[in-house]
Amino acid sequence: MKKYWSKRKKWEKILLASFLVVLLLVVGSGSFIYYKLQHTAEAIYEPLPPSEFRVKVGNFNPTPAHDDTKETSATASHVGPRVPSLKDGDPFTMLIMGVDERDHDRGRSDTLILAVVNPKTPAVTLISIPRDTMTSIIGKNKEDKINHAYAFGGVPMAVATVEQMLQIPIDHYIKTNMQGFEEIIDVLGGVDIQNKLAFSLDGQYFEKGPLHLSGEKALAYVRMRKADPKGDFGRMDRQQEVLSSLSNKALSFEGAFQWVGMIDKVSEHVKTSIPSSEWTKLMKNYNQALSHLERESLNGSGIRQNGIYYYVLDSGERERMHDIIIKKLGL
């Protein structure tokens, strides 16, 4: 299993669709829509707090990702974050997180995608980080699955952990609560899918063949794993199918009439470190890059340790990806 994902990543398309919908609508016509977007951009803004765990941009330090005894060398500098100018069209990185939050439970980051945006090439490079990747959790002095970083310390710890694993700067983040997609699906009137495997889950039956799913049923459909012979990979296939259907519907002529409702849901379930004043600059200077997507994968293999599954990156893989990112940033 050298490639954790070979197809589009499970939440990638809808996370990007959410991102692009906001961008596209910023320059859309209609004062009411514009007002709603401005209000939403202000509501979803949540700056990334300063962290002591930052990395210097430079040569890769070959310290193992899960060797906490040597972690100090990578964090001792306490370097502050870069401040790329969106006005000037500087290349930047963004960590895209899909989280499974519930009442009184921060949850885990079910999806981690690092986007490298360079308007000069122009292209956006998407690097999906397998949620089971074994690495050192920054601030916890332990190794664990990388998606646990969010559960332990929220956005700051998740960002710091990814930064340290690949030794690259993360300039911005965008976080979306996957539970909110249930409401977005309902706003759009449901999604249509082609179910390849009949199964039951939580008292709901999903027959084989074409199905029209409400938000509640769609979430149950994408979360089923144990009854699928392909396990997690089967679940990823279903997630991709639902999210592809959802994004196509959201961007369709019919979906356009539901944009106000979708904007309201975005304001409830999305947070980002991009200020409201920067969205128009983003659209102006980065629109060509956003239409050219490139993908990179982290190579590795699965192991079991004390009965728990982990994804372990190949030797030299962190350094390879570090070099790719730094080059694409022009650093």
Query: Is there a single domain that holds both residue 102 and residue 196?
Result: no
Within-domain flag for 266 = no
Q: Tell me how crowded residue 250 is: count the other CB atoms within 10 A of its CB.
A: 23
Query: Is there a single domain that holds both residue 113 and residue 207?
Result: no
Predicted confidence band of residue 74 (pLDDT cuts 50, 70, 90): very low
| pLDDT tens for each residue of 201-221 | 888 899 999 999 998 898 888
Looking at per-residue pLDDT, the higher value among 101 and 184 belongs to: 184
Within-domain flag for 262 = no
Instruction: Find out whether 283 and 23 touch, Cβ atoms under 8 Å.
Output: yes
Query: Is there a single domain that holds both residue 168 and residue 220?
Result: no
Among residues of the chain, what percentage have pLDDT more than 90? 29
Within-domain flag for 162 = yes
What pLDDT shows up at residue 135? 95
Q: Tell me how crowded residue 91 is: count the other CB atoms within 10 A of its CB.
A: 19
Within-domain flag for 212 = yes
Query: Is there a single domain that holds both residue 29 and residue 172?
Result: yes
Query: Is there a single domain that holds both residue 279 and residue 205?
Result: no
Query: Is there a single domain that holds both residue 132 and residue 102?
Result: yes
Interhelix angle 180-187/259-269, rounded to 10 degrees, is: 170
| pLDDT tens for each residue of 265-285 | 778 888 999 998 888 888 788
Q: Cα 82 to chain center, whole Å? A: 20
| pLDDT tens for each residue of 42-60 | 889 999 877 655 555 555 6
Instruction: Find out whether 266 and 15 touch, Cβ atoms under 8 Å.
Output: no
What CATH number is given to the structural domain containing 210? Answer: 3.40.630.190
Which residues contact residue 53 at a Cβ distance below 8 angstroms, ignoring those fewer than 6 apart?
Answer: 75, 78, 138, 139, 160, 163, 164
Q: Which letter does DSSP use for residue 310 in this model?
A: E
Query: Is there a single domain that holds both residue 163 and residue 195?
Result: no
Within-domain flag for 263 = no
Q: How many domains does the chain have?
A: 2
Is the pTM higher than 0.95? The answer reads no
Within-domain flag for 224 = yes
In terms of DSSP H, where are the helices of the chain?
A: 12-26, 31-43, 72-75, 148-166, 180-187, 215-223, 232-250, 253-256, 259-269, 279-290, 317-329
Q: Between the CA atoms of 15, 17, 20 and 22, what dihedral angle is there, to the nearest 10 degrees? A: -80
Residue 84 domain boundaries: 12-178+273-329
Query: Is there a single domain that holds both residue 49 and residue 173?
Result: yes
